[in-house]
Copies of this chain bind each other. A is one copy, B any other.
Amino acid sequence: MQATVHYRQRPQIPHSPSGVSALDSRATIRRFHRGESIYSNGDPASHWYRIVSGMAHSSRQFADGRRRIVDFLLPNNFFGFSVNKEHRFDAGAILDGTTVACYPRGSLEALAESDMEAGRQLRRAAMEALSRVQARILILGRVTSVAKVTGFLMELKERSCAEPDVPVILQMSRYDIADYLGLSVETVSRAISVLRRRRVISMASKREVYVVKQEDYD
């Protein structure tokens, strides 16, 4: 079990989708422990999900032990969309006490077809998810490991709605970051050290990053 880090919980309201009340009438709330699975590859895609608080990731585990993280999920991010009958990814909580709103898929599709506001919210949620993943491809497309890690930190800062002089908190492990960027843990660690030496970032602890210089990363 990883060391649990008790940083202050800042209010994270990224891209608040201007109320999801129309959808929430159908939601059930579930609470997850650190590392607990929300759904697994192959499970029937019976629900769509939204992070209420905490953090999770969407990933794929391979036979040879490798793992690729497809998305980090922050509060108000929707996930679990699938065109198939089954989920094609694993989703799991990163933080203890991560709270997730679960929307029954059939019920939600029915709602979307009767309530135009709900339909609009669903379309917007899908497009925001699409936008996140596309941004990720550009980060993955960066050439060097330092550039990828820089891109990751800038993305996280953006998505965390970080204000100046407030650190970005790396609630995920270096292993998670490595699997997110397609690098080895060692390379991620070295890249962070390089950024510190270059004074692009400074760190209050191993999990708290101050972005000092705003680097262009795409």
Contact = CB atoms under 8 A, between A and B. Distances in A.
Interface of A: 60, 62, 66, 68, 70, 81-83, 88-89, 109, 112-114, 116, 119-120, 122-124, 126-131, 133-134, 136-138, 140-141, 143, 182, 218
Contact of A70 (B60, B114, B134, B182): B134
A39 to B, nearest CB: 15
Contacts of A127: 81-83, 126
A61 B126 CA distance: 25
A70 B122 contact: no
Contact of A138 (B60, B83, B126, B128): B60
Given A60-B218, A134-B89, A182 B119 contact: no
B141 A182 contact: yes
Contacts of A119: 112-113, 116, 119, 123
Given A113-B119, A123-B119, A130-B133, A138 B218 contact: no
A70 B126 contact: no
